[in-house]
């Protein structure tokens, strides 16, 4: 693909909304097609397979209900394009969207990491919008909303993608934008537009969304008290919710203590503030019977629910570290990384560590970082070596360098279609589970592109240590490259100490 048509992929996280079919149909009807479309099925317990037939060739990745941040990470790691375009599953694309997108990406200078699309929220013309419709309309002014946001893959790799500790939408995109800008990148607005219809919601939606106050607490813990200014996020009404809750608590305490006068005064304050909240939400709305009832009931519940979630978030996220956090484990490729590559080696006597391997592994152990090995051994599946011979070779590696805390071996041939064989992420996920650490706090050190891609597929970080078998394109595309194992471990230790960003080069 030429320079005027950047390579791009589309990632759509979904919980199975019906609107997904319309979006995929819109993509299929665009004049320009992406290199790859990944639909991330984030339903916890799907009863039926996800229907993506509206876009033939779309790939479905399942994540099991871990939230939009984790879903988007799984999606972009499953692609290989230079640009990744994130779309919500309930947006609709305009007729010329793909042409406008390519123009936006073509105009993005090398320092531009992301280009945002405009969001248009249609509201009824024949009546005033409801409270929920006005809330959704706020997306039109949102900064860096992933309803339509294109990011360079390199920038996503550098900051380790979305922070998966955000379990809901609306703050994970602001957090990513702040981290990308802190890493020295620029973000721009583009010319393309998407439509974001207001989806139907329940009577209690305004109460349910108060859970986002816990995410606001996480944003403060990560980015400081001025995070709203830097992320261009409106403050909202939380400061008014606190005295409303205090007045309600004083009213309740007065009633329980039999102090009627004090309870009455507190009740008057609580009622005034609750009525003000209800009217502020109702004044510019349709004022139908249903809307009045909804505003009256939910306005009494919103302040205590909001304060509860904010306090819960403050407690939970005390002392939180920046994403993705310290390195707690390192997984090594075996052949060509730890020991000389002897194809289909069945003889322990032929195991020869590469220079500096023992010292590199010992330095990690000395600071309490877990160590393991993840290795493709298709010789077993091909019938060239036996499992017993492989075990004997691995024991010899342990004797010379170890012992390692976990060994993960894929015995399958390349055409087996398994997830454990690198570049699949199965072995990395299994090793992380065996070590009791999350994959995002694991670094994979290897000598070829399959090791780097396997780390990305599992949500881990990676360091490439090239040798004679490493291709030039693998070196060029690797987020982090080290001259040798000593330099790779230097990078890991600096990263764990917090003196490097997630994608800095050693």
Secondary structure (DSSP) of 168-227: STTTHHHHHHHHHHHTT-EEEEEEEEEE-PPPP--TTHHHHGGGHHHHHHHHHHHH-TTH
Specify whether 451 is catalytic: no
Instruction: Count the alpha carbons within 13 Å of 187 in the hemisphere toward its beta carbon.
Output: 24
Residues with Cβ < 8 Å from 304, sequence gap 6 or more?
Answer: 241, 245, 248
Neighbours of 118 (CB within 10 A): 16
Catalytic residue among 104, 215, 333, 447: 333
Nearest CA to 245 out of 283, 213, 287, 204 is that of 213
Residue 496 has which token pair?
């764990």
Contact assessment for residue 109 and residue 43, using Cβ atoms and an 8 Å cutoff: no
> Is the Cβ–Cβ distance between 77 and 456 less than 8 Å?
yes
Contact indicator for 402, 357 with CB cutoff of 8 Å: no
Bridge partner list, 37: 10
Asked if 101 and 8 touch (Cβ cutoff 8 Å), the reply is: yes
Residue 34: helix, strand or coil by DSSP?
coil
380 with 390: CB under 8 angstroms?
Answer: yes
Burial zone of 283 (CB within 10 Å; 0-12 exposed, 13-18 middle, 19+ buried): exposed
State the first-to-last Cα distance of the chain, in angstroms, to the nearest integer.
31
Pairing of strands 36-41, 59-62: parallel
Annotation says 42 is catalytic = no
Q: Among 26, 42, 88, 335, which one carries the catalytic annotation? A: 335
* Residue 278 Cα to chain centre, angstroms: 35
Best CA proximity match to 444, nearest among 430, 455, 431:
455
Kindly state the helix (H) or strand (E) to which residue 408 belongs, with its residue range: strand 406-410
Q: Angle at CA 417, nearest 5°, toward 77 and 444?
A: 45
- DSSP assignments along 301-341, one per residue: HHHHHHHHHHHHHHHHTTTPPPTT----EEEE-TBTTTB--
Token look-up 């990078």 returns 491
Half-sphere exposure of 173 (CA within 13 A, CB side): 25
| Beta strands 36-41 and 92-93, pairing class | unpaired
- Rounded Cα distance, 494 and 369, in Å: 13
Q: Is the peptide bond before 423 cis (omega within 30 degrees of 0)?
A: yes
The residues that are catalytic are: 333, 335
């Amino acid at each position: 693909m030429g320079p005027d048509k950047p390579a791009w992929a589309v990632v759509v996280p979904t919980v199975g909304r019906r609107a997904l079919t319309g979006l995929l149909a819109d993509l299929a009807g665009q004049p320009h097609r992406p290199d790859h479309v990944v639909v991330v099925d984030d339903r916890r317990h799907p009863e039926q397979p996800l229907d993506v037939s509206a876009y033939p060739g779309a790939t479905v990745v399942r994540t099991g209900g871990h939230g939009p941040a984790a879903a988007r990470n799984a999606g972009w790691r499953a692609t290989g394009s230079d640009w990744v375009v994130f779309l919500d599953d309930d947006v609709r694309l305009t007729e010329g969207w793909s042409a406008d997108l390519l123009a936006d990406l073509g105009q993005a200078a090398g320092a531009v990491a992301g280009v945002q699309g405009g969001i248009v929220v249609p509201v009824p013309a024949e009546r005033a919008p409801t409270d929920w419709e006005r809330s959704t309309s706020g997306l039109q002014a949102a900064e860096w909303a992933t309803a339509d946001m294109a990011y360079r893959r390199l920038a996503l790799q550098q900051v380790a993608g979305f922070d998966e500790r955000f379990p809901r939408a609306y703050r994970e995109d602001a957090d990513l934008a702040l981290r990308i800008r802190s890493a020295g990148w620029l973000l721009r607005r583009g010319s393309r537009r998407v439509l974001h219809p207001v989806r139907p919601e329940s009577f209690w939606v305004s109460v349910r969304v108060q859970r986002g106050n816990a995410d606001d607490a996480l944003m403060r813990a990560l980015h400081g008290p001025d995070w709203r200014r830097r992320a261009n996020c409106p403050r909202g009404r939380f400061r008014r919710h606190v005295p409303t809750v205090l007045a309600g608590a004083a009213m309740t305490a007065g009633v329980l203590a039999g102090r009627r006068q004090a309870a009455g005064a507190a009740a008057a304050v609580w009622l005034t503030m609750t009525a003000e909240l209800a009217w502020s939400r109702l004044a510019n709305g349709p004022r139908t019977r249903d809307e009045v009832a909804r505003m009256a009931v939910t306005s009494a519940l919103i302040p205590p629910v909001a304060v509860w979630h904010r306090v819960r978030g403050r407690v939970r996220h005390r002392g939180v570290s920046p994403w993705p956090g310290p390195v707690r484990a390192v997984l090594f490729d075996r052949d060509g990384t730890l020991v000389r590559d002897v194809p289909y080696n069945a003889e322990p006597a032929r195991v020869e560590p590469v220079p500096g391997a023992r010292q590199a592994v010992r330095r990690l152990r000395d600071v309490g970082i877990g160590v393991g090995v993840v290795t493709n051994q298709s010789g077993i599946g091909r019938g060239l070596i036996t499992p017993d011979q492989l075990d004997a070779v691995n024991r010899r590696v342990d004797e010379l360098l170890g012992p390692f805390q976990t060994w993960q071996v894929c015995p399958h041939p390349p055409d087996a279609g398994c997830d454990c064989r690198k570049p699949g992420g199965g072995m990395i996920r299994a090793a992380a589970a065996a070590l009791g650490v999350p994959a995002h706090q694991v670094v994979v050190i290897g000598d070829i592109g399959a090791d780097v891609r396997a780390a990305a597929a599992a949500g881990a970080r990676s360091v490439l240590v090239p040798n004679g078998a490493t291709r030039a394109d693998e070196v060029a595309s690797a987020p982090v490259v080290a001259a040798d194992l000593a330099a790779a471990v230097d990078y890991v230790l600096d990263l764990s100490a917090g003196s490097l960003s997630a994608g800095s080069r050693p």
